[in-house]
Amino acid sequence: MQQNTVQHLEIGTEYEGQRLDNFLANYLKGVPRSHIYRRVRRGEVRVNHNRVGPDYRLRAGDILRLPPIRQGTNQETSRPGQEILELIATRIIYEDSELLVLNKPAGIAVHGGSGLAFGVIEALRALRPNAPGFELIHRLDRETSGILLIAKRRSLLRRIHELLRAGAVEKRYFALVRGSWTGVLRIEASLIKNQLQSGERVVRIDDSGKPALTELRILARNPVASLVEARPLTGRTHQIRVHAAHFGHPLAGDCKYGDADFNRQARSWGLRRLFLHAHYLRFVDNGQELAWEAPLDSDLELIRRYLFSVSPISAH
């Protein structure tokens, strides 16, 4: 179907706080996310006459301008294979009428788009075709495993977004880094996002960027590597990876900010991915404390045992 004219939509209260890209993906059925992102980047999609990014959070009363866009069968996005669907189904660690908590596998993006045929959201929609629309509450990088929150109701999405903005959601990650970490355990360094000509997103330390704070706890170390628990007190893109690299301890398996020699050494231990795992998440919703733990995946656990003679680790 061809939408032949420019549309102007007023955003209602039910879409308050939703990301622009998620709104468009639901509104423009059959349009590939990659096409949506391209239109947003070009400034053809505008909010209140202004250019915005795909991560813009909609507000009630916003006026959204949509250019003419062809809608139809999505040729770019394919249904995830049965193996992926079964994997995602086995990684659900909690579910109720409002919330789904997933122990996300490494190597699967949180959603399709930008050259990816599908992600976690598309897999969940394929698993539950009659369920309400799933929406990401927060994100994990494609190569990061661990706890991922997914809303089944917009009311919950808004509540947890308010908690995230207030810093009231506690997240902790296991990370393997280069060398024996003996220095600072509280990193406060502002971060700024850059986009290279290739379209790749890179984050760097810059005083003009957004404030970022990470606390660290050393779990095990030797002269070659350290296993740390990182607690980001702000939720900046690639925060743990950039902070660790800035202080001379890049993450194992990090091809963007890491050390090539250390990554080669880590591959000799059997590491085939980024060693970063979101293992603990906690918040209080409507007076009820909710918390989940996800132990290290078996591939990372084998490397932990190989490097360190320590007991199993947990959030506490």
Predicted local distance difference test score (pLDDT) of residue 293 = 97
- Structural domain span for residue 132: 82-158
**Residue with token string 């007023």:** 10
Reading the block at residue 267, the tokens are 């591959």
* 190-216 confidence digits (pLDDT tens): 999 886 655 677 899 999 999 999 999
Average pLDDT of the chain to the nearest whole number: 88
What does the block give as tokens for 44? Answer: 């053809």
Average of per-residue pLDDT across 21-43: 83
128/288: higher pLDDT: 288
**pLDDT surpassing 70 at residue 132:** no
CB 211 within 8 A of CB 205: no
Q: Is residue 163 part of a domain?
A: no
The tokens of 192 are what?
């700024």
Q: Are residues 136 and 191 in the same domain?
A: no
Residue with tokens 């053809």: 44
Question: Residue 171's closest CA among 247, 227, 234, 93?
Answer: 234
How many domains is the chain partitioned into structurally?
3
Q: How far apart are CA 232 and CA 313, in angstroms?
A: 19
Do both 182 and 286 map to the same domain? yes
Integer Cα distance of 148 and 154 in angstroms: 16
Q: Would you say residue 267 lies in a domain?
A: yes
Q: Are 8 and 65 in contact (CB under 8 A)?
A: yes
Q: Tell me the angle at which helices 20-27 and 33-41 cross, rounded to the nearest 10 degrees.
A: 130
Output the domain CATH number for residue 233: 3.30.2350.10
Q: Are residues 200 and 301 in the same domain?
A: yes
Tokens of 250: 């890049």
Domain contains 76: no
Q: Is residue 70 part of a domain?
A: no
pLDDT tens for residues 241-278?
A: 999 999 999 999 999 999 999 999 999 999 999 999 99
Q: Which residues are catalytic?
A: 141
Residue 257 lies in a domain: yes
* Tokens of residue 308, six digits: 């360190």
The most distant pair of C-alpha atoms in the chain lies apart, rounded to whole Å, by 65
Same domain, 224 and 275: yes
Mind giving me the DSSP string for 226-242? EEEEEEESS--TTHHHH
In a domain, 3, yes or no: no
In a domain, 314, yes or no: no
Asked whether 67 and 5 are in contact (CB, 8 A), the reply is: no
Helix, strand, coil abundance in the chain, percent, nearest 5: 25, 30, 45
Rounded Cα–Cα distance for residues 119 and 11 (Å):
26
- The structure's pTM equals 0.78
Q: Is position 312 within any domain?
A: no
Q: Which residues pair with 57 in a beta bridge?
A: 19
Tell me, yes or no, whether 302 and 180 share the same domain: yes
pLDDT at residue 1 in the model: 44
Q: What angle do CA 108, 142, 88 make, to 5 degrees?
A: 30
Quote the pLDDT of residue 73. Answer: 45
